[in-house]
Structure 1
Amino acid sequence: MSKRVAVLTSGGDAPGMNACIRAIVIACEHLGYALIGYQHGYNGLINQEYESLSLNATHNLIQQGGTILHSARCEAFKSVQGAKDAARNLNTLGIDTLIVIGGDGSFRGAEHLSQYWPGQILGIPGTIDNDVAGCDATVGYYTAIDTAVSSIDKVRDTADAFERIFLVEVMGRHAGFLALNAALASAADYVIVPELFESEDAELKSIAAQIEARRQLKGPVSFIVVVAENVWPGGLSTLAERLSSQMQSEVRPVTLGHVQRGGSPVSQDRLLATKLGTHAVALVETDKNKVMVGEVNHKPVEVPLKATWENNKPLDDCSLSTMRITMNNRY
């Protein structure tokens, strides 16, 4: 009897989720599996809100941002009753395998569901934050970097025109991957990430010292600081006020916000999403269960769902050392 597979996208949307759905549809068609898509994340499981997915759904899908299945947070799913309702609905449709595309919060939900549903559960990492352990990159991360870099480039133009200090806040939740690599790729002057944050006074002293050193050499200068969200106590406006007071200069805060989640996925995200979606479907008739399908060193890996949030994912040492050199050797 043909296997029945279901897929959903949960948590924050990320460019490349549609490319991943497309790959899953094509792989299921190739192997003769029936596929349905649950809408609005785990809400769809509880409310039995779904649609059949076929090759017709894949037309022009790989380049679309967002997710055709939509996404949402679902507090009700965190309860025992919510998970039991979801399990009952999956059983009603005869689902053998559930594929969850999302971040660590989505994977926690999948682990929660597994206590009440005996079917196979597979995860695919989809989040711009890249904060899921066990994989080199998450679907959406590369596009978010490009979006942030494009925005910082534009900020640089006006910063140079007015010789002004700008603070640019990027997403990342509680991880500095996006901030660090966006800062490197845009040649920003300074970056503040949670992994390296020591204290407000220490960061302000370091930023001020670099600005003063530049002023000694060149006079008035522009200066771009990339800041990871949630890292500065009191938020970006508080940092802007303190730095403005200390430097006796105008400091402008810019929050990029949800624009980083949108847009057509870049080629790296399309490729990653396609490979991970295809590999996940290849695991359907195996004994692999409660695992995330990721990629390490360009090879697919399967990682226990719990390990994706219980283990810490460190920033890349090479990127860190490169940023330190560029921050301390600018003219």
Structure 2
Amino acid sequence: MSRAWSLVRRPTGLPTAGNFELIDLPAVPLKEGEFRVRNTWLSVDPYMRARMEEIKYAPCFQIGEPMYGSAVGEVIETRNAAFKVGDRVYHSEGWREEAIVDPSLGAKEGVAPFVLPDLGVEEQVWLHNLGIPGGTGYFALFRTAGAKAGDIMFVSAAAGAVGSAVVQMGKARGMTVIGSAGGPEKCAFVKSLGADAVIDYKAGPVLESLREAAPEGIDVYFDNVAGDHLDAALACARPHARFAMCGMIGVYNENQPLELRNSRRIIQARIRLEGMYFGEFADELPVFYEDMGGMIARGEVRSVETVSEGIETMPEAFIGLFSGRNTGKMLVKL
């Protein structure tokens, strides 16, 4: 009997264990075109918080139904000639021990199911640097923000899955990178990734620290946080700065409107703020895999993981994202 996590009530503020329930999945025979996967690695990501609400961001999780997200595993049964027993695959039926995957249903998380290519990386890397976090960072940085060599870039949540990839990609492409993280240990980690300067947002006001780290201002802001980080970036933006609005982990669980004291700077400095949604770049994934694969092979981007063991730990791992429990990518290993 396979088990899966479902959402039993929509959270108000920070989710708790009571918002989730571990349910048994019925044994169902495969239909033509489907295959069955025994999952080995499951992903939890901050954007999943938005899917717990009924908002027009992306399809939301349905109450009482199995949740889903990125996962990798082994094909154990198949009625699809393109997927053989023993194949290691990426798919979007996470939050469960076993999954029935139907490739004809398309890309639920922006990426259609596929057999993992042999790029000489561990399979879980397809859930971070070669997966949605790395891809989100790549497309937001180079497409949304149009970042280039010589830019001065500020990255919030730089010790997280997306932020740590962005720091390394920025340095690989010749940028000056300033990261933000919480506490000396995480700041040291971001520094070890190559960041030119690191702000400890727990040690004092972000704006003062950013002005000290970037006295000439910033050209690019990669936003994973919003709140005081976004406000500080607006204050320090150079003319025609580009902001990639990627995530808002600092305010996902807040019920108050976002207030920006420095919003007038958008007009004064002609700042471009643009939101990013990973699914819109699906057609460019082959370019990403080749480019990111090369950066990994050359040692320009390395993988860092925080691993939680067992299906039972999924909610705890997810909730831990909002208190900074993870360094790098948060994963659940089955």
The two structures have a TM-score, normalised by structure 2, of: 0.35
Q: Which has the higher strand share?
A: 2
Q: Which has the larger radius of gyration?
A: 1
The two structures have a TM-score, normalised by structure 1, of: 0.35
Larger RCO (alpha carbons 8 Å, 6+ apart) = 1
Q: Which has the higher helix share?
A: 1
